[in-house]
Chain A
């Protein structure tokens, strides 16, 4: 496993700007998850994909947030018109396994993309 990679690792932006984060999962994992973690809290589920299909979105994901996984490989998370409340660590994870029979339940997390909105 080469690991889950996320880019950029840290983004500082001004309120109202748009930002985009990229996640490259482990290549053979077809499920990809986005979580958000704020200081002093555990990660909170945002959305997940199976291949290119977005299967579920949390209510935390307002209309300003959009996630894509166009070819079932890497994924992007875009935040439009950022607000100071969006400041957080955005975590990506991929799930070991190819289908229901082979999923082991182990999520592999990237190191995260930290967003600071000024």
Chain B
């Protein structure tokens, strides 16, 4: 069965500092990988996704993520964090017998990001 591990429950960074959120997945086939952000009182919003091709993917709000098959990782990065980035971040892997194309996602437990002024 597929699974996602986000090792860091809570991360605090200063505004302007760089950010890396870790994500490790377990999936038998080529994964579909996603990062979503959830702000209080708002629905989950897709930041970026990886299906195939270039292993460095760019997303919205200045985020990027790198797929490393050898490490089963899909870490999220941002070079300079803004106070508005404070939210909870979820990594997810696409699962299912059709190789992920049913978009039934398995989510990690999330990483809560706090940004200090």
Contact = CB atoms under 8 A, between A and B. Distances in A.
Interface in B21-69: 32, 34, 36, 41-46, 49, 51
B43 A105 contact: no
Interface residues of B, number: 26
Interface size class of A (residues with CB under 8 A): 20 to 34
A44 B106 CA distance: 7
Contacts, number: 59
Contacts of B102: 48, 55-56
A112 B104 CA distance: 18
A42 B92 contact: yes
A67 interface: no
Given A105-B32, A107-B103, A42 B110 contact: yes
Nearest to B104: A45
Interface of B: 4, 32, 34, 36, 41-46, 49, 51, 90, 92, 94, 96, 101-110
Interface of A: 3-4, 31, 33, 40-45, 48, 55-56, 91, 93, 95, 100, 103, 105-112
